[in-house]
């Protein structure tokens, strides 16, 4: 996707005349340009406010220098760079083509001979990268470009020299969930060339099956699977020899993985096939190459070289990150990943409705229970839905976009697109709305006014080191590396900022109070608006640490410890209300605490418990499908239970939706059974008035009404593919089927 230059955009950087915008991220802007000789180039810049930080400027300089050392037939060359300009930039060759992710989405998994040939090409590319002393660190399908001359590995913006240790302190680990190696997630072995081999195995699994090797799940679940579980390779034929190769690449131990030369030796005979020139890829590449590009606009005035900023000491000290920070920073777009996550590929136009690959909308009818409109993602995908008063917000990948994602607003009545913003292609798991504001963290999108798509607060622009954000009313509290800060979403100003040495995890929020926890520090409560410390909780047992924290509004917090102690704490004073040892297993990393009606809730692993708010006693337990399928996320990524009409709506298994009394855990009426078609993959959606509930298991969808006796079915519908996301508003409900189709259904 290319869009016109904005008035504030530069018209020339170095010798390159800018033509259009290619993409944007939390780190900066990517432009399409022409060299003096007419060659198309992609110019990557970083935001001026980041360029003012000597650490990021120096990092940009080192990584630009390192990337220039890479040469080879299967890599995209770096042509020019100026890390000392006021707006630092880097120019790479612009390669017409499509990413591997888009190619597989559009045409399906590659034939096995093509996958083996791809393995040979990528192994040769990695051999050249590693020979230059670099580790790519973010090899993934959207960073592999298919061109008329074969595959190319692109985006060296986060590559790092293997012997470069000078800037790793605050840089953290970088990667994409699903393609990161165990050593990128854990505080363990150093990141070496073996890290790229692990990613290569995941890429080959995707090319062969059309699915990610470790499945589709929340970020924490993906990280856990990579470290502790085996990849899903059942659909890769054993007799091809490819499964053994992928298995070897995905070995948990870096020392057991083959190097690039060994992989090339195993696959070199396959490299003779120009598989990308066969249909249907041939037509896909031809379409990408056929889009014309305008000439650069004449500059309004002669270009003046700007002096480089004088170096100044960074206000934030460096520090090696522990496990919790590394895992979070890795998926939040740390370092230059937020900028360089955009492929230097031709997208194929501006994604207008006539584009055959763009998201398309077809109309329906106004009858109750009928489809109002339907959206098809074409060669792209839709990952997430968010119903708002202004319309339906969608996130996904448009078919014409090489590797950047798209967040857009569609009208609820007709599905017409009102605005679109290029964002990360990672699935947002912490987005949400507040009044007319759309919040996405992780370096994805600056807080935006939903109705217009305009920036809500520049002060809340995601920092590349952002770990999490939390929402307390209209105050957004943001955790960056070594910094805790707050921004008003009404005035757009920063309210306070302070240096923090503790590795605070995502907090629980009650009113204006945030309860922060860390493995080594006492739980501490701070005021969101002023940033002052309200109290610290010192009644954890010896050598015990907090594993989960939750809000029990209006005036209490719940803390669960590693040793199974449940503490209930007064949010105003920090005094302990009660504490009790729980006689139940705790599933690390898949546990949440919340309140529903007069009961506290603890969902851990495959069990949901109800506990007393005054005595912390477990009063009932019932099977649960799991945290991500049962409890949706709210702004900041906090899980909350689904409550409608005073009933707790709960997936007891993949096909049984129960309506429970939160206090007793007893079912109200008969549970709704969904027959066949696969298990539920997402929580139910509830209409704003709380009377209508929409749920799906596999392809089976049901609209339900809440009554004193439980749930009553009003209508059903069969989706074209398993439903992966649901949303609801006053008009009805929305279902995302197979990440390819969105149905807007009347209530």
Q: Is 652 annotated as a binding residue?
A: no
Alpha helices in 214-256 (DSSP H): 219-228, 242-249
Dihedral sign for Cα atoms in the order 147, 148, 150, 152: negative
Q: Among 510, 482, 508, which Cα is nearest to 497's?
A: 482
Residue 536, CA atoms < 13 Å, CB-side half-sphere: 6
| Cα distance between residue 87 and residue 51, in whole Å | 7
| Residues 442, 456 contacting (CB under 8 angstroms) | no
DSSP designation for 165:
-
| Residues 203, 139 contacting (CB under 8 angstroms) | yes
Q: Among 342, 326, 335, which Cα is nearest to 424's?
A: 342
| Cα distance between residue 716 and residue 719, in whole Å | 10
Residue 185, CA atoms < 13 Å, CB-side half-sphere: 23
Over its C-alpha atoms, the chain yields an Rg (Å, rounded) of 26
DSSP states of 273-338 as a string? --GGGSTTHHHHHHHHHS---PPPPPPSS---PPPPPPP---SS------HHHHHHHHHTTTTTHH
Q: Give how far the C-alpha of residue 30 lies from the chain's centroid of Cα atoms, to the nearest Å.
A: 20
Peptide bond into 554 cis (omega under 30): yes
Q: Give how far the C-alpha of residue 122 lies from the chain's centroid of Cα atoms, to the nearest Å.
A: 25
Q: Specify the DSSP element, H or E, that contains 513.
A: strand 513-516
Vertex 350, ends 396 and 87: CA angle to 5°?
Answer: 85
| Cα distance between residue 648 and residue 640, in whole Å | 11
| Residues 654, 625 contacting (CB under 8 angstroms) | yes
Task: Point out the catalytic residue in the list 138, 155, 357, 429.
Answer: 138
CA dihedral of 140, 135, 70, 47, whole degrees rounded to 10:
70
Q: Give how far the C-alpha of residue 712 lies from the chain's centroid of Cα atoms, to the nearest Å.
A: 36
| Cα distance between residue 320 and residue 651, in whole Å | 41
DSSP designation for 42:
E
* Residue showing tokens 């973010």: 138
Which residues fall within 8 angstroms of residue 125, CB to CB, at 6 or more apart? 72, 74, 75, 151, 152, 153
| Residues 49, 27 contacting (CB under 8 angstroms) | no
| Residues 464, 27 contacting (CB under 8 angstroms) | yes
C-alpha distances in angstroms, 41 versus 36, 152, 290, 341, 565?
11, 15, 17, 16, 59
| Residues 330, 175 contacting (CB under 8 angstroms) | yes
Could you count the other beta carbons within 10 Å of the beta carbon of residue 730?
A: 12
453-457, Cβ contacts within 8 angstroms, sequence gap of 24 or more: 453/409, 453/418, 453/419, 453/420, 453/421, 456/489, 456/492, 457/487, 457/488, 457/489, 457/492, 457/493
Task: Describe the strand order of the beta sheet including 533-536 as a list of residue ranges.
Answer: 508-510, 513-516, 524-527, 533-536
* Catalytic residue check, 138: yes
| Residues 231, 214 contacting (CB under 8 angstroms) | yes
| Cα distance between residue 276 and residue 253, in whole Å | 33
Binding residue numbers for ATP: 44
Q: Which residues are catalytic?
A: 138
């Amino acid at each position: 996707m290319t869009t016109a230059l904005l008035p504030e955009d530069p018209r020339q950087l170095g010798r390159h005349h800018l033509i259009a915008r290619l993409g944007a991220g939390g780190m900066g802007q990517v432009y399409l340009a022409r060299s003096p000789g007419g060659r198309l180039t992609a110019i990557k810049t970083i935001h001026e406010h980041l360029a003012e930080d000597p650490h990021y400027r120096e990092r940009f300089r080192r990584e630009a220098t390192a990337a220039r050392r890479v040469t080879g037939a299967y890599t995209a060359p770096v042509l020019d760079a100026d890390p000392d300009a006021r707006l630092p930039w880097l120019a790479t060759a612009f390669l017409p083509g499509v990413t591997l992710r888009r190619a597989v989405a559009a045409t399906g998994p590659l034939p096995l001979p093509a996958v083996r040939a791809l393995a040979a090409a990528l192994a040769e590319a990695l051999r050249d990268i590693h020979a230059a002393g670099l580790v790519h660190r973010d090899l993934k399908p959207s960073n592999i470009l298919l061109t008329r001359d074969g595959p190319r590995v692109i985006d060296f913006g986060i590559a790092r020299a293997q012997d470069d240790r000078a800037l790793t302190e605050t840089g953290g680990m970088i990667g994409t969930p699903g393609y990161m190696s165990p050593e990128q997630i854990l505080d363990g072995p150093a990141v070496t060339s073996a890290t790229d081999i692990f990613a290569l195995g995941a890429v080959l699994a995707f090319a062969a099956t059309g699915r990610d090797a470790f499945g589709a799940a929340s970020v924490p679940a993906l990280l856990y699977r990579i470290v502790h579980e085996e990849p899903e390779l059942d659909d890769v034929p054993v007799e091809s020899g490819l499964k053994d190769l992928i298995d070897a690449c995905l070995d948990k131990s870096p020392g057991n993985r083959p190097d690039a030369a060994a992989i090339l030796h195993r696959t070199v005979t396959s490299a003779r096939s120009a598989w990308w020139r066969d249909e249907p890829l041939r037509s896909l590449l031809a379409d990408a190459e056929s889009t014309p590009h305008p000439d650069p606009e004449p500059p309004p005035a002669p270009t003046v070289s700007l002096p480089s900023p004088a170096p100044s000491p960074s206000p934030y000290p460096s520090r090696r990150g522990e496990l919790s920070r590394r895992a979070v920073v890795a998926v939040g777009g740390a370092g230059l990943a937020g900028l360089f996550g955009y492929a230097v590929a031709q997208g194929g136009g501006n994604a207008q409705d006539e584009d055959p690959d763009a998201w398309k909308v077809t109309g329906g009818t106004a009858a109750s229970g009928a489809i109002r409109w339907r959206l098809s993602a074409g060669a792209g995908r839709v990952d997430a839905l968010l119903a708002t008063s202004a319309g339906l917000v969608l996130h996904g990948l448009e078919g014409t976009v090489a590797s950047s994602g798209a967040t857009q607003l569609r009208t609820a009545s007709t599905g017409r697109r009102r605005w679109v913003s290029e964002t990360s292609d990672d699935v947002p798991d912490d987005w949400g709305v507040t009044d007319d504001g759309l919040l996405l963290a992780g370096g994805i999108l600056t807080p935006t006014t939903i109705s217009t798509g305009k920036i809500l607060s520049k002060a809340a622009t995601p920092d590349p080191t952002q770990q999490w954000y939390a929402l307390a009313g209209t105050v957004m509290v943001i955790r960056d590396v070594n910094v805790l800060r707050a921004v008003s979403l009404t005035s757009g100003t920063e309210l306070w900022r302070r240096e923090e040495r503790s590795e605070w995890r995502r907090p629980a929020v009650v009113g204006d109070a945030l309860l922060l926890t860390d493995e080594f520090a006492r739980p501490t409560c701070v005021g969101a608006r002023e940033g002052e410390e309200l109290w610290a909780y010192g009644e954890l047992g010896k050598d015990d640490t907090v594993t989960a924290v939750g809000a029990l509004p209006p005036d209490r917090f719940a803390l669960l410890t590693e040793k199974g102690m449940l503490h209930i704490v007064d949010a105003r004073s920090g005094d302990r209300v009660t504490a009790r040892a729980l006689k139940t297993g705790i599933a690390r990393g898949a546990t949440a605490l919340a309140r529903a009606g007069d009961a506290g809730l603890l969902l851990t692993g495959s069990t949901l418990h109800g506990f007393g708010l005054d005595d912390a006693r477990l009063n009932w337990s019932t099977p649960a499908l799991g945290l991500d399928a049962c409890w949706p996320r709210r702004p900041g990524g906090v899980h909350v239970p689904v409550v409608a009409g005073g009933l707790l709506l709960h997936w007891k298994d993949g096909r049984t939706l129960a309506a429970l009394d939160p206090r007793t855990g007893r079912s109200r009426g008969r549970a709704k059974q969904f027959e066949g078609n696969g298990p539920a993959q997402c929580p139910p959606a509830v209409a704003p008035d709380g009377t209508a509930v929409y749920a799906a298991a596999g392809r089976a969808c049901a609209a339900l009404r809440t009554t004193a006796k439980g749930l009553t079915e009003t209508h059903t519908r069969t989706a074209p593919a398993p439903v992966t996301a649901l949303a609801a508003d006053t008009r009805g409900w929305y279902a995302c089927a197979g990440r390819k189709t969105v149905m807007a259904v009347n209530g």
